[in-house]
Amino acid sequence: MIDGLTLGAYAAEPRRPALDERSERRWFQALAAVEGAHGLEVFFRGTLHPRGPEHLAQLLPEGWHLVVTALPQAIAGSTTDPRYGLASKHADGRHAAVDDIRRLLAETRRLDAVLGRTAVRAIELHSAPRAIDGVSSDASALALSLRELTDAAEGTPLIVEHCDALVAGQAPIKGYLSLAAEQAAVDEAQDGVRCPVSP
């Protein structure tokens, strides 16, 4: 359950690791002062925080929840290897993406253990890669990834967050699967996976 407003403040914060510890604490205090806010959307790119999830736990306002987006990791991974992604039909690219989300899930468990409660309420996943220049992706590959991650999630909801789809004649920003394909993947994966959020 998500309590109160969740701030997607990671997009506004200074780039990692630009803030020193004192400035970072002031940043989190400023977020805590936002009326009606009771949680943060944070991002995963190799780690939840450069100083580790234990440090993030110390920064989190008391009682606040987290929603974690893996989009920066999906973008970084596909920059290194265009075949990287949970929806990739290329085995190496799909396995690499699944392994990264397993690491994310392990970090969320460490963070929850430090806090002594379930702070992470959902993990947002994405249907990378962009299927161009010989790269292939589809709903079945995404469904397979979701099934493999469900047990590792240990009850944490996995949400497929829809990004812009690859459409002929349009320049994409991300260019992942269509919403219909993502819905099909969620249906195929079945247990433990929630429907995609709205576009």
pLDDT digits (tens, 9 = 90+) for 109-168: 999 999 999 999 999 999 999 988 889 999 999 999 999 999 899 889 999 999 888 888
- Measured CA angle at 127 (ends 92, 46), to 5 deg: 65
Q: Which of 15-24, 26-35, 120-129 has the lowest mean pLDDT?
A: 15-24
**For residue 194, what pLDDT band results from cuts at 50, 70 and 90?**
very low
Give the start-to-end residue ranges of the domains of the chain: 5-194
Mean pLDDT of 85-105: 97
Q: Among 114, 98, 111, 110, which residue's Cα sits nearest to residue 158?
A: 98
pLDDT of residue 3: 66
> For residue 37, what is the enclosing H or E element?
strand 37-43
For domain 5-194, the question of CATH label 3.20.20.150 is answered with: yes
**pLDDT, greater one: 142 or 61:** 142
- The pTM of this model reads 0.87
Residues 113 and 91: their CA atoms lie apart, in Å, by: 33
